[in-house]
Each structure stands twice: as C-alpha cells, then as structure tokens.
Structure 1
Amino acid sequence: MKIIRNFLTVLLITIVGIVKAEEVNISSLSELVRYASKSGNVVTMSPGVYPLTEYLPVDSMRVRSNRKEYQYITFSGSNNTFNLDGVELVIDTKLRTALKPPIHSDEFLMTGSDNVFKGLTLRCIGKGYSLGGTVLQVAGRGNTLKDITLHVAGAFPYGYGDLFGKGKAKETVIKHYKHSGLLVTGSDTKLYDCKIYNLSFGHCFFIQKKAENIYFENCYAEGAIRSTDDILAETSGPAFDVNFRTWTQNREGKYVVTPGYMKSLCEDGFRIYGPIKNLHFKNCTAKNTRAGFELRSNTRVILENCTTIGTERAYWIGDDAIVKNCKGDANYGPLMFVEGSNVDVELILDPAESDRIVHALITIQGENNKVVLKSPKGEKRTKELPILIGYTHPMHGESMSPYDEGETVGLKFMNKTGMPIKIGRKASNCEIITNGVVIENKGEQIKIKQK
C-alpha cells in the first residue's frame, strides 16, 4: 500500500505540474530574460535575429561589472521548455571587453534543472575578446539541449592554436585570453544535434566538475586550420614579436615553430577534465579541431559511430574506454593516442592524406588493451605511417614534439590497415596480428602473426 501511495503522489505531482505549465509566446530579449527565472512554462519565441546590444548596451557593462553580474542571461528556472527555433542572439564581443569579468566567467548560464532548450543560435561577432570565459555553461541537473548552434569568436591571440602556450602554464610564451563554446558541469545533461563553429582559441564542447551521466548524440564541432609555414611567413604580430618561440620543443630540441605541420586554431572538439562518469558519445563529429575527442579520464567513456576529420590528433583515450565503429584520418596528425588500460577499441582509418608532416598513425601504452585498427573496404592509405606500440604521446600532444616510450603489457592488437608496426623496448606479453610489416621489435614475449 505504501508503494502505491507513493506512486499516486508522484503521479499527482506530475499531473499538477503539467496542468500548471503556462504556454507563452514572446518576441523580445527582455521577455526571454523574465521567463528565464520562472519555472513550469512552455516558452515559444518568435524567430528572428536579436542583437544583444539592443538589450544590454555597451555603456551598461560598467554597472553590471560593479554588481558582479557577469552573465548576460541566467536561466535559473526549472521544468521549462524553451522553443527557440529560428532565434539567433548576436553577441558583440566588445561587450565582454567592456564588462571585464574574472577568468572563466560564462556569458549564458543554465542553473535550473529539467529544462528543454530547442533551436537557439548564439553568434559572436566583432573584435573584442574574453578574459577566458565560455559562451554557454549548462550547470543545472537534467537539462536537455536540442539543435543548439554556437558560432564562437573572441580570443587573443587567435591564429596560432596552442603553439605559444594555453593558459597559466609557466612555459607559456604569449599570454592567452581564451573563449570557449559550451561547458557542461551539470549531471544528467543530454545534447542532441548541437553544433559549434569555433573561430576562437578555446574548446568547443567540454565537461568539468565531476558531472555524471552526460550524453551526446549527432553533435558537431568544427574549428579552422593553418599551416606552420603560413605562420612563419608573418612579418609582424604576436608570433613575430616573440621570434616564433614555442612552449614545447620540436624533434630537434628547439623551441621554435617548425615548418611542414598543420595547426588547429582552436582547442578540442570534445574534451573532459577529471573523472566524468557515464559519458557517452554517439554519431558525433569533430573537424579541424586540435583533438577530436580528448577523453583522458580514469572512468569508462563510450564512443560509437563517431568521426574525426583533419584534426591534430583524433582520439585520445584513458582507462576503460570503449570505442566502437568510429573512424578518422591521419591527415594532419595521429589517429589515436591510447594512454590508459583496459580499453576496447574498434577504429577505422580514413585514407585521406596531405603534404603535412605526421610522425605516427597511433601510439599505444597501458595494460590489457584490445585494439582493432582497419581500413574501409577497398580503400587504403598509400603513405606509410608507423603504428607505435610501447610509446607515449608527445609532450602536450604537440605533433612537432618527440615521442617517448611507455610500459605496454598484455596488448591484443589487430592491424588491418597495411601500415607498419614499431614495437618499443617497454612492450611485453603482447599478441599482434597484422597485414603490415613489423619494422622494429624491441619488446619481450611479443607474439606476431602475419595475416
């Protein structure tokens, strides 16, 4: 009887909540702000382009800064549905410069729970810059985002990627002011068909603060790329002013921009920080970002049917990761870094090639990993790239930097790409099936079967 009473109570609360939900139509930013703090509504906004400066003029930023009001809009209400199809908010980046917020402040913040947001576009314009913030943070619990699009801009310097550092690191050569896309810190967040076009130095999608149960489906991240040759051709600007000194050394041991490589001008397409439990990506794509999917946690993450295109490094995974039917190229950098243990990987190598320098197809370290690497049927890469077993990623993942060796034990590896394999001295007790040659084997108890 107690179970039945509890069920009826929950059912009654749900019914009451549905009955009380108010359906409202709005057509201004001031109305959107008003309903952002309310709960239990279905809010539909008229399609159109809404410049944020018409609601928040530049000369209002000083007052907001004095009040420590660093967000443009905070969605603090819960149990709402916001129908924002065709709604575009244009954000002049000079607002952020005038506001002068502390580092890591967000412009739009969702702190309420169990909301649904559909169809919004946020577009950054102008030549201002952020001090290190994010366009949108989802901090509340149980929120769902559908068909949200961000066009990110507003970082300094822009045009070099992470060649000269990326934050507070002591090695940083040029001080950076990042501007990232979408940050998730709230558990049980779901994102469907969300897109980020990033013309800024900062991440596209990233997750922090031990958020749990995060799900991405059909999401897309895209940055821009530039050759190191083009950077070295500059005769003025931030890179020229520091004599092109980098924060990581190249393979000759020099700290200088090296010709022949391709750099992404943003950070990662999909990135996590810290232990993020129950993280799942399905049918997601990263193009021209630094890393496609950098998921170096000690918790299990799942990727299925995901794709990378033209990244500096495609997939970077940690302990217990599951990668199924995913694909990517090694056009501008390695296809994968396996850093953890107990991973289960099935990865398809796209045969795309370029004239840029790439030093490895994948690197593998860790214990008891299972990796299957294959090519699409009837398609194979022609330029040889070595598969490095018993090797680490280069420092900071930088393609110009040298690789080191790392402990690799109990690996089961199947190579169906025809690419050559190099096995380091720290690899042991591994089983390898390959249709490519083994160009070097310094490991111990390595069983190799040619197929």
Structure 2
Amino acid sequence: MKKVSSIIIILLFFCSNLNASEIKISSLKELAKYATESEHTITMAPGVYKLTDLLTPEILQERRANKQYQYITFSGSNNVFNLEGVEIELDTEIRTVLNPPIHSDEFLVSGSNNSFLGLTIRCIGQGTSLGGTVLQVAGEANSLKGITLYVSGSYPYGYGDLFGKGKQKETTIKHRKHSALLVTGNETKLYRCKIYNRSFGHCFFIQQNPKNVYFEDCYAEGEMRSTDDVLAETSGPAFDVDFKTWTQNREGEYVVTSGYMKSLCEDGFRTYGECENITFKNCIAKNTRGGFELRFNKALLENCETIGTERGYWIGDDTVVKNCKGDANYGPLLFVEGSNVNVDLIVDAAESDRLVHALATIQGENNTVVLRSENETQRQADLPILLGYTHPEHGEAMSPFGQAETTNLNLINATGMSIKIGEQAKNSIIKTNGEIIENKGMHVKVTKR
C-alpha cells in the first residue's frame, strides 16, 4: 500500500508539471519577457547584468512619458525563477531619470505562486527619487529564497531619522527615501534573504495588512554613526539647519545631542497596520534603527536576534517572543506597548560608551515578560527596567520617557539589572535578582529570585 501511495505522489507531481516549460536565458530582456508569462521554469545564466543595458536612455524617456515606473514586473504566475549566481546591477540614476511618484516600486512581483531562487540586486550610483522600494512582493503565495539586496540611493544619507522621516510637519530636512523589500501579498514566504542597507529606508517591511507572511533565516543590516560625528560637520544638510532635530531631547531642546549612536537606515523588520499571523524565525537585525518593530500586530518571533540596534524589539498586542536575544549596546532592548504579550528575551552583555537610558519599558495589560542573561554573564553597567513607562517619543533615544498604565504584569528579571516602578503600575508580580530603585506602584508584589 505504501509503495502504491508513493507512485501516486510521483505521478501527481509529474502531471502538475506537464504544462511547465523549462527555459534557459542569458539576458535581462529575456527575463523581463518571461516575467509576464506563466507556467515556466526559467534558469538564468550566472553573471552580472547591468540594468542600463535593458533600460537605455531612449527606453527610459519612453517609459517616463508613459508613466511606466517599474523596471521589471513579474506579473506571471506559477513560475520558478532559478537565479543562482545572477546579480543585477541597479544604477540609481535610473530613478532620477524616471522621476517616479513617491512609494513607487522598482521590481514588482504581482503574479502568484512564483518561486525566486538566489537573485542579488546591487545598487550603484548617486541617483535618488521621492521615495521607493527596490522590490515589492504583492501577489499571493510567492516564495523568495536566498535573495540578497545591497541598497543605496537616498538623500540625505548619514543622519538616520534625526531630522525627520518624511511628511511630518516637524521634519527639518526633506528626505528622499529608498527602501529595500516590501511585502503586501498574502502567504508570502522568505527564506535566507539578506539585505545590506546603506540607504535611509526600511530593510524588510510589511504594509496593506497581508495574512500569513513568514520569514526564516533572514538578515537585515544597516550601519551606525555617532551623534558626536554628526555635530563635528562644518558644512552639509545638518549644518545648514543648525542641527535642529524633529524630536526634543531630554533637556527639552530640539537639537542633536552628543553621546548617542544613530542607525543610518530605518528598521530591520517592520510592520504597518494590522497584519494577521506574521512569523519570524531565526532572523537577525544588525545596526538598524529598530530591530523588530511590530507595534500594532500579532506576531510570533522565535530564535531571533538584534545586534547594535537603536532599539531591539518594539511589540504590540498578543505577540509572542520565544528564546530571542539582543543587546542594549546603543539603545533599549525592548519596548512593550501592547497587552497579552509573552516575552522571553536573553540580554546580551555587550556594552558601549554611548548613552542608553533603559533596558526596557513596559506598559499594557496582562503581559508576561522574562528577561535573562546568557550563560549568567551580566552587563556591568546598570540599565533600569521601567514598569509603567512608555517608549520615548518616536522611539528616539535622546527623548524622555512618558508614563502609562501597566496592570497584571508578570515579570521575571534574571539580568541583575535594576527596576523602576512608576505610579501607573499596579496589580503586578515581580521576581527579580536586581535592585528596586523606585516603587511608586500600587499592589505590586516584589520577591527576590
């Protein structure tokens, strides 16, 4: 019976692929052609392909006139694109010539049930546009495996969000963003995808409320710069606005403050809106603004890590964080903004000489938070865990914390770090091996571990 079942499975697999044709290609023109068709297995010869060979000056002028802003649109369905060893060199001057509207995508996957294997896209040049994304996955049930993006092409680059993020009226320098990979399609799955971001924009981000998006073994990397280095400038965009920021510092002034570290990109993994069933497994964010900023979503994170971020995990309602890890090297490890969360975080002992004001802030209802040290190796410098406190405005490390109600919290602190309990914390249980430096809460039971 087992042998018969195996034969049936093989026959079904064979029949399902009868209509799929196997095609070998060796140019971007061919890739663009088959991107619009369906039921193919396309294998592209390894090599570096220049996008300017496909989008010549004449074609760019024609596309701009026709308002065709995407470089290649994968509108077909049920395809397999074998792109191992294929690198597309994306000259960002193309964006300048096309001058697309804000939030335009460059490579767009609008078809469904496609698999992409091994593609690398590398940005070069100094071009910018109003804001856009290298790659958007909009169709349903597409999978990306081993995709790598090297992103550049924003203005100004070198300040992160010190001077604003875009449309906000408080913005002191107008930005031209360039983000990496946007997911808007249901059932999108990403495996072993990597983003090296040298642009002001997000790495991986999700919009338009897709369902069942899955990330596994994905990596997001930005780079950091000290505010002291920014303040040393004697010319340029920051100097021209007298280093005026869009958020106030802890002294109430709107100015760049020395002693901090800023990421030059936006978030490593970011969600917008209410996305259903989002999963991150074995993913890493390094030197990004936020590692995992999932504020208004129910999400599952398992075995994830943040390294040298401005803030590690920013989570909302009903989120589960299992056996994850991160440091507070340049900013807080954790902001709990929602309710009914379950967090288990390992605190890496890494430290720096940069100003950091808290290990975590916790607000909301019915939360369970476990913070522990790795192999019992604790930080040397104390960073308080703040209960009944909010994240600082816009998450900016230079800005002060607010206060908010925290009820029915179950906190286990095995980090040795101190705890500060605000006056809006109540009806909670705390087990800690760190000092209680202040307790203004009501009905908060504290026991030593």
TM over 0.5: yes
CA RMSD in angstroms, aligned pairs only: 1.3
Say whether the 8 Å CA contact 1:364–1:392 is kept in structure 2.
yes
Does residue 232 (structure 1) correspond to residue 231 (structure 2)? The answer is yes
Instruction: Give, as a single letter, the amino acid of the residue that structure 2 aligns with 1:153.
Output: S
CA drift of 1:130 comes to 2.6
CA drift of 1:38 comes to 0.7
Counterpart CA distance in 1 for 2:28 and 2:180 is 21
Per-residue CA distance 1:125-156 (angstroms, 9 max, x = gap): 01111311000000000000000000000000
Q: Identify which range, 79-88 or 127-136, moves more after superposition.
A: 127-136
The residue that corresponds to 2:37 in the other structure is 38
Instruction: Give, as a single letter, the amino acid of the residue that structure 1 aligns with 2:79.
Output: N
Counterpart CA distance in 1 for 2:209 and 2:295 is 13
The residue that corresponds to 1:155 in the other structure is 154
The residue that corresponds to 1:3 in the other structure is none
The residue that corresponds to 1:65 in the other structure is 64
TM-score (norm 1): 0.96
Provide the secondary structure at the position in 2 that maps to 1:396.
helix
TM-score (norm 2): 0.97
The residue that corresponds to 1:330 in the other structure is 328
CA drift of 1:16 comes to 4.8
Counterpart CA distance in 2 for 1:265 and 1:325 is 28
- Of 411, 414, 418, 1:413 maps to 411
| % identical equivalent positions | 67
Provide structure 1 residue ranges, at least 5 long, that are not aligned to the other structure: 1-10
The residue that corresponds to 1:209 in the other structure is 208
Matches within 5 A, 1:431-450: 431-450=429-448
CA drift of 1:63 comes to 1.4
Counterpart CA distance in 2 for 1:395 and 1:98 is 37
CA drift of 1:62 comes to 2.1
Counterpart CA distance in 2 for 1:130 and 1:266 is 16
Does residue 312 (structure 1) correspond to residue 310 (structure 2)? The answer is yes
- Of 394, 397, 400, 2:395 maps to 397
The residue that corresponds to 1:144 in the other structure is 143
CA drift of 1:59 comes to 4.3
The residue that corresponds to 2:383 in the other structure is 385
Instruction: Give, as a single letter, the amino acid of the residue that structure 2 aligns with 1:404.
Output: G
Counterpart CA distance in 1 for 2:81 and 2:292 is 29
Counterpart CA distance in 1 for 2:14 and 2:363 is 54
Counterpart CA distance in 1 for 2:278 and 2:108 is 22
Per-residue CA distance 1:42-93 (angstroms, 9 max, x = gap): 0000000001001112343221111110000000000000000000000000
Instruction: Give, as a single letter, the amino acid of the residue that structure 1 aligns with 2:143.
Output: T
Which 4+ residue blocks in structure 1 deviate beyond 6 angstroms? 11-14
The residue that corresponds to 1:193 in the other structure is 192
The residue that corresponds to 1:365 in the other structure is 363
CA drift of 1:394 comes to 0.2
The residue that corresponds to 1:6 in the other structure is none
Counterpart CA distance in 2 for 1:351 and 1:403 is 23
The residue that corresponds to 2:300 in the other structure is 302
Provide the secondary structure at the position in 1 that maps to 2:389.
coil
Counterpart CA distance in 2 for 1:352 and 1:101 is 43
Q: Identify which range, 125-134 or 244-253, moves more after superposition.
A: 125-134
Per-residue CA distance 1:338-371 (angstroms, 9 max, x = gap): 0000000000000000000000000000000000
The residue that corresponds to 2:345 in the other structure is 347
